[in-house]
Structure 1
Amino acid sequence: MQQNVLIIENGEGNLELIAKLVRRAGLTPVGATSLTEGKVRFSQNIPESFLCAIVAYSLPDAPQGQAIDFTANAFIPTIATTETLDSGIRDKVLERDVVDYVPKENSQNYDYLSRLITRLEKNKSTGVIVVSTNRILRTRTIALLQRHNFMAFECLTATDAMHTLSEHNHIRLVITDNTLPDMTGTQFVASLRKAFSKEQLAIMGVAGGQGMLMSAHFIKSGANDFLRLPYCHEEFLCRVMQNVEYIESVEEIRRVANTDYLTGLPNRRHFFYMVTVQHQFLSEHHALALIDLDFFKSINDTHGHDAGDIVLKAMAALIEFYFPDEIISRFGGEEFCIYLPNTPIEEACQRLEDFRKVVESEVIQLPSTDIKVTCSIGVSGAVTQRVDNLLSLADKQLYAAKNNGRNQVMCEQPDSSPLEQVSLL
């Protein structure tokens, strides 16, 4: 479903500026310059299509925040905007069920608004755990997180929180009180750090009336951040956003570092890491395959490098589709690698032969023509605890497949000598 953002702003200039931010976030602005027009624009769309609303506190026909009341009562997450940072208006805005409010007094506030819009979509798949026996603290914190579309979990004990973490892999932040029934908050933080690094899970400590000492204890125990009670609405949300965005930034850096830029497959380095981690626990039945496109240079020479890129992307898509549970990689150039754990060599070779036939029959559409390609595959199922040895043996089989006429699978049996191999044609 198309994601809309309802914008009700006082003036065409403000409306267009915010609409640009919404478009930049990949969302569709639905704009109005009065509450009356906003109600009409809202009624013309499916209510569930609105991700959020950005609404001015003061409008010509709604000078006291009535437009905010309208969108909040329509159950649309609402971001309020004000012309200036006025404490009286701020208090009136925050009395309502709003996500946040943004004063439009400088460009940095618009940058914050842009981040906020993007976060409301991302937060739908981001989990946060609140751990506390204080019902009021828990309820208030959960309510604020849900306003921001976070998937919020509440736990009374550290044990409950650890169990929740084990069940949900999308949790990025834990907010914990210091007084827990089964251990102190700092002990809980220290135990979390044994399982999760600061780059994997953010932790915020919360406590009141204990001055600077408690914050130091939390940080030294491994927390990323600390919040004193009673906390300010805006400070809480800003700190939550910063901590979640830090985790996401590290994840994105890792993803880029481990991904081939052209095909989107894992790269060679990540392949070795994944196989090495899983290889320690595998049985002796496994296989590793090297796949090489035949006569790839002639594709580049005849049709151009852009065409070669299209072929590589098509090959990567086929590998992803036919080997969804295996460890796959683009090794570089026109060479790909597949590791098949817990797979007898006979089964692996048959699957790869079936795949070779799929590649042979696939029609790849280029801008100017359609072409077909073939591939040669070398497979080894040798019993070894060294991934580099397995790779070297598969490479020998690939070399044999190339020398034997290409477009075939050459398999080395686990108990064979280097000269004993099986060709699947």
Structure 2
Amino acid sequence: MQNKVLIIEDSRTAINIVVKLVEQADLVPVVSQSLTEANHLFMQSPPEDYLCAIVDYNLPDAPNGQAIDFCLDSILPTIVVTARMDKGTRDDVLRREVVDYIPKENTQTYDYLARLLKRLEKNKQIGIVVAGQSRTAAVRMTSLLRRHNFITYEANSAERTYQLVRENPEIRLVITGTDFDDVKSTTIISNLRMDYAKERLAIISVNTQEAQLSSARFIKSGANDFLLTPYCHEEFLCRITQNIELIENVEALTAMANSDFLTGLFNRRYFLNKLSGLAVQRGKRYALAVIDLDNFKQVNDTFGHENGDVVLVHTALLLRQHFADAVIARFGGEEFCVFMADTDAQTAVDRMESFRVKVSQQPVTISQTSINISISAGLLTAPASSLVNSISRADKLLYQAKNAGRNRIVSDIAFSRALERASQKTP
């Protein structure tokens, strides 16, 4: 696991700040105050343990960036921090393949460093397509992106670009140029946007200064952003990061809107919106269960609502484990709903009964007391005319389970069989 960060810095104030930022990112700081000490510390553990290095440009035994070269030679992604902000120092730093260059200018620069540390870990799961670029431009772009741990792909045709995005769900951004073999870049942007919203896939169009007046064409075709060449190292990476973070922020907001804040399961609104169309499709078979924790009010009254929440989270975890292939929601209070697609009646009954047993056999420890919990459920295996009607019918079956003594599953199969037996006994 790459959880260490090598810090090479001789200022005690700067060390304290950087160490705190590293720890806030859930990483382990390894601190040295000279290049000699850094070399010694780095040899104490495998290089694979390190996520990156944060290096001061000017050190007592490395006054002109020699510590940067040491880190790069050790295949460590390197972030340079320095109090020297002259053009000569900046140029000397950026001629090397560093991750970034951060001046010790104000508190905002350290805030940027904190976000950069978190990004280096996140970026390992994010793909970027470099499309329609000259060979020289593509090499430069992919080099910059890989320093930031992005997964990179290259394409020179429209079809290859579409294929990469279609087959690799981790791709979050496409950088388009003008060197495509088949169609105009505006056409590719437009086609991508038809299939992928801006909240799902960012597109940055890169073009020459001569195309500056045409930048609106690319934005109107669906691009999120526009970058003119020649561009500087820092502007390129800042635009990449801002577009990626915008997608992540939208995803986070969507997840909050669709999820129950306590358990992390889907909420009722999302459950109904997601499944209402699927539930009425002709020929679609599914089973639906409404589940309720037995005597939950007593748990709250005895142990308090905070510990009642512990029971709810415990139940949600068991639901996720047992119904990993199903859609699960917390409907409110102690009530949950499980939608099992393409599931025949007997399989649904068996799975629900197995879950009931699992819950009853796994007590919850709250306030140093182990308490047994149980669930009752209404299970519908013959879908109604709509999802809402199916939920209503399952809820009535749940009511029967409660009235019959709790800790049991009542399904429409069992109910139908009971009616059949009753009719056979009638003279």
Regarding TM over 0.5, the answer is yes
The one-letter code of the counterpart of 1:367 is S
1:180-195 counterparts in 2 under 5 A? 180-195=180-195
Change in CA separation of 1:243 and 1:420 when aligned onto 2, cut-off 3 Å: farther
- In the TM superposition, 1:4-403 aligns within 5 A as 4-279=4-279, 283-403=283-403
Q: 1:180 to 1:336 in 2, by over 3 A?
A: same
Q: Structure 2 CA distance, aligned partners of 1:2 and 1:87?
A: 33
Distance (Å, rounded) in 2 between the aligned partners of 1:56 and 1:136: 31
The 3-state SS of whatever aligns with 2:377 is: strand
CA deviations on 1:256-288 (whole Å, 9 max, x unpaired) are: 111111111111122122223543657342110
Whether the 8 Å CA contact 1:345–1:414 is kept in 2: the answer is no
Letter in 2 for 1:191: N
1:181 to partner: Cα distance? 1.6
Q: What is the Cα-based RMSD across aligned positions, in Å?
A: 2.0
Distance across 2 between alignment mates of 1:179 and 1:71: 36
Q: CA contact under 8 A between 1:379 and 1:398: conserved in structure 2?
A: yes
- Partners of 1:25 and 1:297 lie apart in 2 by 40
Cα distance change, pair 282–69 in 1 and its aligned pair in 2 (3 A): farther
Query: Per-residue deviation at 1:81?
Result: 1.1
Residue identity opposite 1:80 in structure 2: V
Q: Is the 8 A contact 2:128 2:173 kept in 1?
A: yes
* Change in CA separation of 1:215 and 1:371 when aligned onto 2, cut-off 3 Å: same
Task: Note if contact 2:278-2:284 (Cα within 8 Å) is conserved in structure 1.
Answer: no
Structure 1 residue 26, shift from structure 2 partner: 1.1
Task: Tell me, in whole angstroms, the C-alpha distance in 2 between the residues paired with 1:415 and 1:333.
Answer: 27
Q: Assess, with a 3 A threshold, how the Cα gap between structure 1 residues 177 and 262 changes in structure 2: closer, same or farther.
A: same
- Give the aligned length: 422
* Alpha-carbon distance in 2 for matches of 1:130, 1:241: 15
Query: In structure 1, how many angstroms separate the alpha carbons of the residues matched to 2:6 and 2:281?
Result: 53
Amino acid paired to 1:92: D
Q: Which runs of 5+ in 1 are unaligned?
A: none
Query: CA contact under 8 A between 2:203 and 2:225: conserved in structure 1?
Result: yes
- SS of the counterpart of 2:120? helix
SS in 2 for 1:175: strand
Question: Which moved further from structure 2: 56-65 or 77-86?
Answer: 77-86
Distance 2:379 2:347 in 1: 11
Deviation at 1:337, TM superposition (A): 0.5
2-side partners of 1:157 and 1:16: how far apart? 50
- Look up the equivalent residue of 2:20 and give its one-letter code: K
Q: CA deviation at 1:110?
A: 1.2
Q: Structure 1 84/419 Cα, relative in aligned 2: closer, same or farther at 3 Å?
A: farther
Instruction: Quote the Cα distance in structure 2 between the aligned partners of 1:280 and 1:153.
Output: 40
Give the counterpart letter for 1:345 in structure 2: A
Contact 2:303–2:367, Cα closer than 8 Å, also in 1 = no
Tell me if structure 2 keeps the 8 A contact 1:284–1:383: no
SS of structure 2 residue aligned to 1:264: coil
Amino acid at match of 1:220: K
Maintained 8 Å contact 1:2/1:28: no
In structure 2, distance between residues paired with 1:186 and 1:48: 42
Q: List runs of 5+ in structure 2 lacking aligned partners.
A: 423-427
Question: Which stretch shows the higher mean deviation, 83-92 or 144-153?
Answer: 83-92
CA 1:157/1:277 → structure 2, altered by over 3 Å: closer, same or farther?
farther
Identity percentage of aligned residues: 47
1:102 is paired with a residue of what secondary structure? strand
- Aligned residues of 2:2 and 2:48 also touching (Cα < 8 A): no
TM-score, scaled to structure 2? 0.95
Contact kept in structure 2, 1:285 and 1:345, CA below 8 Å? no
Q: 1:414 & 1:408 partners in 2: Cα distance?
A: 12
Q: Name the CA distance, whole Å, in 2 between partners of 1:133 and 1:245.
A: 24
